[in-house]
Structure 1
Amino acid sequence: MEAKPTVLIVDDDKDICYLLATAIQSDDIEILSAHSSKEAMILFDNNRPDLVLLDIQLPEMTGIQVLEQMKKIDNNCQIIMVTAYATIDTAIQAMKLGALDYVCKPFKLPELRETVRNAIEFLKMKEETAVTLEQVERAHIEKVLGEVDGNRRVAAERLDISLRTLYYKIKQYDIQANP
């Protein structure tokens, strides 16, 4: 995620788009608006927003269909569904397809602001904690080697791996271990 996250607001009602944009506007985010599913997909493709506020009732395609397409393009994008026609089935379907949240109209603007703020914080936290399995494994091997003063045989036992595997991992990760 860039330093300034982008939020795409998708609603066929221009007044709702304006209301949502005004409600969440801050210097910390960039806001884009689309009034149809086609326009939303073009903006999504060109800008890859970090967060999408997506109405379920749209012309051309449903919000659920748009959600599904967006997730196929960028599964990391977070999408909050917005609707005046809430049903349990639609909410379940949206969540199964990867929606982050589901907000019903009419909504209270402070609650909407909080939902968007939480989603952006979630994105930042997710980015900061994205660690690969290899990084975790390397750090663990280095820690164990440090605890046993570089004794590779004891380290292999503690790690519950063969000595050969330990030597391979040391070479793979270029770990500077004491002999």
Structure 2
Amino acid sequence: MNPDGTANILIVDDERPLLESYAAMLGTRYDVATAATGEDALEAVDEKTDVVLLDRRLPEYAGRDVLAEIREREFDCQVLFCSAVVPDVDILAAELDGYLHKPVGTDELIDTIETQLDVRERSEPVQEYLRLERLRATLDDAQSQSHLSDSERYQQLLDQLEQKEQAVDSSQHTASAV
């Protein structure tokens, strides 16, 4: 975040018109950088980056590879896939903070970014719980319940959510008792 409180957003998409459209939508509210390739994204992301909107399908890098490199470099930013690919349980294998399914309008983009910025201010257990809850909601919206109920990975997500919720409840109860 900049000293004036303005968030730094990196938008990564190989479709130039869409990239420019998202930049225009967000540019009046945030400091926006853009990248049309995974390589450019990895050059643009740094310790000042707050949120990355990352396309899953890029010409030379998969979005998952760019995400993995961002995590390996230990940048403290929220990373969301912003993709036309319908999300499935495979997204649970990535260290992803959220998912936007294209097309995405201005209000949804801003609401999602504001949520991500708010989450960054929370404790680690709350951040993790909210991350998992957003992924669950994304999958619930994108896939049929019969498909999800057949998925072992989705069932593991539900178990993790229950454990995280108990941990968050327990820590909040302990904090309020002090």
Q: TM-score range by the shorter chain?
A: 0.5 to 0.7
1-side partners of 2:62 and 2:102: how far apart? Answer: 17
1:117–1:39 distance in 2 versus 1, CA, 3 Å? same
User: Equivalent residue for 2:78?
Assistant: 78
CA RMSD across the alignment: 2.4
User: Equivalent residue for 2:97?
Assistant: 100
2-side partners of 1:52 and 1:60: how far apart? Answer: 18
1-side partners of 2:106 and 2:31: how far apart? Answer: 18
* Structure of larger gyration radius: 1
2-side partners of 1:7 and 1:115: how far apart? Answer: 12
1:11–1:90 distance in 2 versus 1, CA, 3 Å? farther
Matched, 1:111 2:108: yes
SS in 2 for 1:81: strand
1-side partners of 2:28 and 2:122: how far apart? Answer: 19
Aligned 8 A contact 1:9 1:53 in 2 = yes
1:113–1:15 distance in 2 versus 1, CA, 3 Å? same
User: Equivalent residue for 2:11?
Assistant: 9
User: In the TM superposition, what is the alpha-carbon distance from 1:126 to its structure 2 partner?
Assistant: 5.7
Q: Deviations over 1:132-179 (max 9, x none)?
A: xxxxxxxxxxxx9xxxxxxxxxxxxxxxxxxxxxxxxxxxxxxxxxxx
Matching residue within 12, 15, 23 for 1:21: 23
User: In the TM superposition, what is the alpha-carbon distance from 1:75 to its structure 2 partner?
Assistant: 4.5
User: Equivalent residue for 2:41?
Assistant: 40
Equivalent residue letter for 1:120: L
List runs of 5+ in structure 1 lacking aligned partners: 128-143, 145-179
Q: Deviations over 1:44-85 (max 9, x none)?
A: 14x641110000000111000100100111242110111111
User: In the TM superposition, what is the alpha-carbon distance from 1:109 to its structure 2 partner?
Assistant: 2.8
2-side partners of 1:81 and 1:30: how far apart? Answer: 19
Segments of 4+ moved more than 6 angstroms: none
2-side partners of 1:39 and 1:23: how far apart? Answer: 21
